[in-house]
Amino acid sequence: MAWHLSILVMVTTCLSLFSISEQSSQTELLQQLRKQLEYPRQLDAWGSPSSDPCSTKPTAVLAVTCEGNAIRELKIIGDRITKAPKFSGFSVPNVTLSEAFVLDSFVTTLTRLTTLRVVILVSLGLWGPIPDKIHRLASLEVLDLSSNFLYGSIPPKLSVMSKLHTVTLDGNYFNGSVPDWLDSFSNLTVLRLQSNQLKGSIPASVGKAAMLTELALAGNSISGDIPNLGSLNKLEMLDLRDNELDGELPEMPTSVVTILLSKNSLKGEIPEQFGQLNRLQHLDVSFNFLVGSPPAELFALPNISYLNLAANMLSGSLLSSLTCSSTLGFVDLSTNRLTGDLPSCLNGNLNNKVVKFDGNCFSVDPAHQHEAKYCQQSHKGKGSNKDVGLVVTVVGILFVMLVLSLLLMASNKRSCQKVLAEKQFQQKHTQDNSISGMSSELLVNARCISQAVKLGTQVQPSHRIFSLEELKEATKSFERSAFLGEGAIGKLYKGKLENGTLIAIRCLALHQRYSIRNLKLRLDLLAKLRHPNLVCLLGHCIDSAVDESTVKRVFLVYEYVPGGTLSSYLSASSPEKTLKWCDRLQVLIAIAKAVHFLHTGIIPGSLSNRLKSSSILVDEHHMAKLSDYGLSIITEEIYKHEVIGQKKKYFQNDPTEM
């Protein structure tokens, strides 16, 4: 008996220890997610090492639901709601998570929480393509990743998540097509992909997603016809606004409650079947090319409350005996070609209805109607489509003529520049077969190529934050051999990153104190100055005081331009380096472009710049770039001081010669 009791105690102890270990593991995973999300303020409640996320009180922006030791729900609503004007798939400072963030690693951590049923991660600055491994969340029922910076295609592996019934990916940058595997979802009820960059047509397989109740694809570039949705007997909300759909209106399932199809190019007549949608409450087909007369039954549907038919090509007259539903509160018929009398049930003074009918040819309110002949033009059936086609054809011909004229002008301009560019292209021909795989023309026009290509991307490198340890390692603790020169704007060093990239580091001497927040705002502005003829600012490093209240100094990290300064090419002491007149003209044009960009290409313009021969760098291909630009953004006092004197020449090939 004692033996059995001992075994029972041991088993109970082991189960208890296993439970504690499992709970600890789940907590560690949540802390890892917090770190990967770069410690958003919404997760400050998890800051204490002893804090238990499962016991955190749910709020509007944070909720963790647990059953025993299993985490069932994770909801985090961030505050990164600003959208970048032009998001190119890379980290955007102060908008997305930093470039150190890797979505694949984040999803890997997330999928280790295998018991999750609900994942809501909104406005957190997540960026990158969603990896296929997300399907490892086999228990997931709700997925909401809206208002982030996710791009690429929607992963097909989502279709194998048999329990998933709600997918919300609104407000991202998905740029593939609408998935054609939606019929593989056995339980999909809600699909929201609004405000992305989806293209192509809506696949017919959507009509086979039998459990679908809500389909929202508004705000994309979807074209073609709307597929047959008649078999979706549970569909209640259809939102396809603001796309490029150009087919005719299909019949709708009788279960639908809301239909939003405005701002497309839909044509044809409104189907008579719409007058049989007894559950319909909200219909918006405004800003299309619909023709014919609207079905009279549409106004009398038992639940209709909102009816917007504005800005189409509807014609004919409405029945004087037209009946309106008692629930109808808003009707917009404006900007069509409707004629005759306005039915009495559409009198706005009755039943407190809001009725808009300007821009037609009704007999009432003539001050806001067209003359009758405006609406008597042929707009029956496909006749209006022919008129539209004629207009489109004429506009197309004019557009082609305009494009040909512009191409001819551009060709003449290139011919004038050919003599100046020929030598430059010949010198770069050898470089075209390099690992970078870039053509000579691309090297001329790219914003920041040079050594910066080696930073890990074959497009313009993004601005990033360097640590002081990285810069010390690159310059061997700023030893004398790395020192290039010193002036009123601080010391200059040459460095070499771990991946072999050569860089130039400007240690900026600040003449006034800034808070770290103030300085970061100024550095962000400076980082936006990108032009082919400006030395590319790769990043910065802030060396702050111990209390982090003020900044002692700041390091600016630039691409290294090995050719030397323009002054060294103008000196008679080095006749072998002296530029020919055609090369000098190229340099002048390049710097003029840089200055023009600084003055007019940004708002506000950067007017105080160091325009002198010693601040103009010429690379090995005689391509000129302006350095030390925009520094007045950081410290307005720089230009009040005389240059102390260059101890060494700026960005020279061999530091020992300076």
Q: Could you write out the DSSP letters of every residue in 439-452?
A: -HHHHHH-SS-GGG
Among all chains, which residue has been given the structure tokens 């560690």?
Answer: 28
More confident residue, 620 or 309: 309
203 close to 226: Cβ distance less than 8 angstroms: no
For the ranges 158-167, 314-323, 642-651, the lowest mean pLDDT is seen at 642-651
Distance from C-alpha of 173 to C-alpha of 265, rounded to nearest angstrom: 23
Distance from C-alpha of 14 to C-alpha of 4, rounded to nearest angstrom: 15
For the ranges 80-94, 355-369, 617-631, the lowest mean pLDDT is seen at 617-631
Phi and psi at 543, nearest 5°, equal -105, 105
Instruction: Tell me the average pLDDT across 568-590.
Output: 75
543 close to 521: Cβ distance less than 8 angstroms: no
Residue 497 pLDDT grade (very low, low, confident, very high; cuts 50, 70, 90): confident
Q: Which domains does the chain have, with CATH numbers?
A: 268-279+287-376 (3.80.10.10), 463-641 (1.10.510.10)
Phi and psi at 340, nearest 5°, equal 85, -160
Distance from C-alpha of 515 to C-alpha of 552, rounded to nearest angstrom: 10
- Per residue in 86-130, pLDDT tens? 888 889 998 999 999 999 999 999 999 999 999 999 999 999 999
Cβ neighbour number for residue 33 with a 10 Å cutoff: 20
Instruction: Tell me the average pLDDT across 378-395.
Output: 54
Bridge partners of 486? 491
pLDDT at 456 over 70: no
- Per residue in 432-448, pLDDT tens? 333 333 333 333 333 33
Instruction: Tell me the average pLDDT across 177-193.
Output: 88
Cβ neighbour number for residue 633 with a 10 Å cutoff: 17
pLDDT at 376 over 90: no
Cα 336 to Cα 9, 308, 325, 358, 378: the distances in Å are 83, 12, 22, 9, 13
Instruction: Tell me the average pLDDT across 289-302.
Output: 94
Distance from C-alpha of 524 to C-alpha of 529, rounded to nearest angstrom: 9
* 3-class DSSP assignment, residue 634: coil
Instruction: Tell me the average pLDDT across 391-415.
Output: 69
Instruction: Tell me the average pLDDT across 477-483.
Output: 88
Among all chains, which residue has been given the structure tokens 């980290």?
Answer: 91
205 close to 228: Cβ distance less than 8 angstroms: no
Instruction: Specify the pLDDT at position 460.
Output: 52
Bridge partners of 122? 77
Which of 555, 521, 525, 561 has the alpha carbon at shortest distance from 539?
A: 555
* 3-class DSSP assignment, residue 259: strand
Question: CA-based angle 130:131:137, to the nearest 5?
Answer: 95
Instruction: Specify the pLDDT at position 576.
Output: 63
Bridge partners of 408? none
561 burial level (CB within 10 Å; 0-12, 13-18, 19+): buried
- Whether omega for the bond prior to residue 302 falls within 30 degrees of 0, making it cis, is no
For the ranges 394-398, 422-426, 475-479, the lowest mean pLDDT is seen at 422-426
Classify the C-alpha dihedral 215-219-222-223 as positive or negative: positive
**H/E element, 22:** helix 2-36
**Long-range Cβ pairs for the range 494-501 (8 Å, 24+):** 494/560, 494/651, 494/655, 495/471, 497/455, 497/470, 498/470, 498/473, 498/474, 499/454, 499/455, 499/456, 500/454, 501/451, 501/452, 501/454, 501/455, 501/560
What value does the CA radius of gyration of the chain take, rounded to a whole number of Å? 33
Distance from C-alpha of 453 to C-alpha of 461, rounded to nearest angstrom: 7
Distance from C-alpha of 569 to C-alpha of 622, rounded to nearest angstrom: 10
pLDDT at 45 over 50: yes
Distance from C-alpha of 655 to C-alpha of 648, rounded to nearest angstrom: 8
